Chain A
Amino acid sequence: MSSQALVEISDVNFAYDSRPILKGINMTFPKGKLIAIMGLSGCGKTTILRHIGGVLRPTRGYVKVDGQVMHELDHDNLYRMRRKMGMLFQFGALFTDMTVYDNVAFQMREHTQLPEEIIHDMVMMKLHAVGLYGTQNLMPAELSGGMARRVALARTIALDPMLIMYDEPFAGLDPISLTVVGQLIRRLNDALGATSIVVTHDVQESLKIVDYIYFVSDGAIIAEGTADDIRASGEAFVHQFVHGEMDGPIPFHYPGGNYKQDLGVRA
């Protein structure tokens, strides 16, 4: 990964109270690339995204986006930086009291002085780009899970952000929607010339579309590389994760004490 970095994470540590979540994370996200952060639920993936978005402050280290240290920005500059970012939430987070049209137009109305005719044309183009032209008058409750995710994607790219973050974009999707969303993420990244970060634990779909992968376990990076590197990885955790094996470094059983003793069985 040699091209210029848009996002740089350097020695980031973070803890909730005294519970460490991130332990010395170092990552680089070059411009124009699509990069995945993978790992088990609760391993700290979303916490990394929240640091990139400036929602959380690291206890040590820093996150730089476009040359700016995120936790040093004041409120106005942080919001200015966020206008250059887009984030797709796990279940879309569409505004349920607005139509599809108003959801996609939301940022255009909030951040620009564009006339309504231009906004109309832009909304239609964004909806067309995600294959949902014609749904503009529907309410979010009338959409399927996959459609809602695509509308949210249209909203995310409304102002052509330089950085797009995806938090579990494949969660709960049927196989067709999963492929559609995966391909859209790749195509939109390339068409917009953006940089994309996908947080996911969907291995198979991610390996098809991403340029580079970071594997996070227990708040630290345990493996990284291209899709082929990850498939061929000898690291036991990565192997268990990629191949979906039931037992391995992550045991099937919760460490719940002495089961036999609990049942009164003598060894």
Chain B
Amino acid sequence: MPVARSLRNIGHRVVNAVWRAGFAARFFAMTLLYSGTSFRRFHLVVREMFSSGVMSLIIILVSGMFVGMVLGLQGYETLKRYGSESALGTLVALSLVRELGPVLAALLFASRAGSAMTAEIGLMKATEQISAMEMMAVNPIARVVAPRFWAGVISMPLLSAMFSAMGVFGGYVVGVVLIGVDEGSFWSQMQSAVDFQHDVLNGVIKSFVFGVAVTVIALFEGYDAPPTAEGVSGATTRTVVQSSLAILILDFILTAFMFRGD
């Protein structure tokens, strides 16, 4: 009975997904519970911030620059039709601070640092490093997972801020330096239109939430990966796919709450 088999398969997948969601929630709770070590020995977090945050800087800065340049070009073309070229700074800054900065930086972070975290922890499991730690009476959640979690959560808003700053600079280069928009109006309009609490702070909250989501997904997938080459590669792929979807879905939800009625 192909229909019965298909239904059974769907049911099996749903049950599996619910189990995994439960395990992931428990994993997240354990990570928070065993975070004390991360704060007592903050150098562990700093070391992970270097590998996940600092090592992602190049891709974040270059991408931010080019996204800002594209925004400058497209924005100028659109605003010119309405004679509002002077509002280019506002358009570039608001687009970046509210949306593109947090979202694109998180997507890049998931691809670069998230996948690396999954692969690293998956390989540690496959080569019995996690088991060795447990047998040495060292809790791997406290020693390996929690420092990476906090490193990701702290790095994400910083990377997002750098992405936005670089994007604004890219927009300035294209709009003011190359096209010739008035420099004074570019900066002054941006300054008057961008509200710290409403725009900047909401962007920071978004990137913080994305940081939590991406890092938890990456760490859980690594920790839960079957200890084989195929298992680790599948987990890495799942990290990128699930993180990207989570970022976009969370972005919609957060935007709906933060900017409704604007």
Binding site for B on A (CB under 8 A): 53, 55, 79-80, 82-83, 85-87, 89-91, 93-96, 106-107, 110-111
Is the CB–CB distance between B127 and A107 below 8 Å?
Answer: no
Chain A residues within an 8 Å CB radius of B129 = 93-96
CA distance in complex: A12, B123 (Å): 32
Is the CB–CB distance between A91 and B127 below 8 Å?
Answer: yes
Decide yes or no whether B3 CB sits under 8 A from chain A.
no
Decide yes or no whether B4 CB sits under 8 A from chain A.
no
CA distance in complex: A87, B132 (Å): 7
Is the CB–CB distance between A93 and B127 below 8 Å?
Answer: yes
Q: Which 7 A-B pairs have the closest CB atoms?
A: A82-B137, A93-B132, A93-B128, A79-B137, A87-B135, A89-B128, A83-B137
Chain B residues within an 8 Å CB radius of A95 = 124, 129, 132
Decide yes or no whether B136 CB sits under 8 A from chain A.
yes
Instruction: Name the one of B124, B128, B135 contacting A82, with C-beta atoms under 8 angstroms.
Output: B135
Decide yes or no whether B77 CB sits under 8 A from chain A.
no
CA distance in complex: A160, B135 (Å): 14
The distance from the CB of B133 to the nearest CB of chain A, in whole angstroms, is 8
Decide yes or no whether B255 CB sits under 8 A from chain A.
no
CA distance in complex: A80, B131 (Å): 16
The distance from the CB of B219 to the nearest CB of chain A, in whole angstroms, is 16
CA distance in complex: A262, B127 (Å): 40
Contact sample, A vs B, 22 pairs, CB 8 Å cutoff? A53-B135, A55-B131, A55-B135, A82-B137, A83-B136, A85-B135, A86-B136, A87-B135, A87-B136, A89-B132, A91-B128, A93-B129, A94-B129, A95-B124, A95-B132, A96-B127, A106-B136, A106-B138, A107-B136, A110-B136, A111-B137, A111-B138
A-contact 0/1 string along B110-125, CB 8 Å cutoff? 0000000000000110
Q: Which residue of B lies closest to A80 (CB)?
A: B137
CA distance in complex: A107, B128 (Å): 16
Q: Which residue of A lies closest to B127 (CB)?
A: A93
Task: For the A-B complex with A96-B124, A111-B137 known, give 10 more contacts whose Cβ atoms are closer than 8 Å.
Answer: A55-B134, A55-B135, A89-B132, A90-B128, A91-B127, A93-B127, A107-B138, A110-B136, A110-B143, A111-B138
Binding site for A on B (CB under 8 A): 123-124, 127-129, 131-132, 134-139, 143
Chain B residues within an 8 Å CB radius of A106 = 136, 138
Chain A residues within an 8 Å CB radius of B131 = 55, 89, 93
CA distance in complex: A55, B128 (Å): 13
Chain A residues within an 8 Å CB radius of B139 = 79
CA distance in complex: A91, B135 (Å): 15
Please report whether the interface of chain B is mostly helix, strand, loop or mixed according to DSSP. Answer: helix
Q: Which residue of A lies closest to B51 (CB)?
A: A97
CA distance in complex: A93, B124 (Å): 8
Chain A residues within an 8 Å CB radius of B138 = 106-107, 110-111
Chain B residues within an 8 Å CB radius of A96 = 123-124, 127, 129
The distance from the CB of B29 to the nearest CB of chain A, in whole angstroms, is 15
CA distance in complex: A96, B137 (Å): 19
Q: Which of B129, B131, B137, B143 has the most CB of A within 10 A?
A: B137
Chain A residues within an 8 Å CB radius of B127 = 91, 93, 96
Q: Which residue of B lies closest to A158 (CB)?
A: B136
Q: Which residue of B lies closest to A88 (CB)?
A: B132
The distance from the CB of B49 to the nearest CB of chain A, in whole angstroms, is 15
The distance from the CB of A172 to the nearest CB of chain B, in whole angstroms, is 14
The distance from the CB of A87 to the nearest CB of chain B, in whole angstroms, is 4
The distance from the CB of A44 to the nearest CB of chain B, in whole angstroms, is 17
Chain B residues within an 8 Å CB radius of A53 = 135
Chain B residues within an 8 Å CB radius of A82 = 134-137
Q: Which residue of B lies closest to A81 (CB)?
A: B137
Chain B residues within an 8 Å CB radius of A90 = 128
CA distance in complex: A111, B136 (Å): 9
Chain B residues within an 8 Å CB radius of A110 = 136-138, 143
Q: Which residue of B lies closest to A110 (CB)?
A: B138
CA distance in complex: A186, B124 (Å): 29
Q: Which residue of A lies closest to B136 (CB)?
A: A107
CA distance in complex: A5, B139 (Å): 29
CA distance in complex: A3, B202 (Å): 70
CA distance in complex: A86, B136 (Å): 7
The distance from the CB of A110 to the nearest CB of chain B, in whole angstroms, is 5
Chain B residues within an 8 Å CB radius of A89 = 128, 131-132
The distance from the CB of A173 to the nearest CB of chain B, in whole angstroms, is 17
Chain B residues within an 8 Å CB radius of A79 = 137, 139
The distance from the CB of B229 to the nearest CB of chain A, in whole angstroms, is 15
CA distance in complex: A214, B137 (Å): 28
Chain B residues within an 8 Å CB radius of A80 = 137
Chain A residues within an 8 Å CB radius of B143 = 110
The distance from the CB of A237 to the nearest CB of chain B, in whole angstroms, is 29
Chain B residues within an 8 Å CB radius of A94 = 129
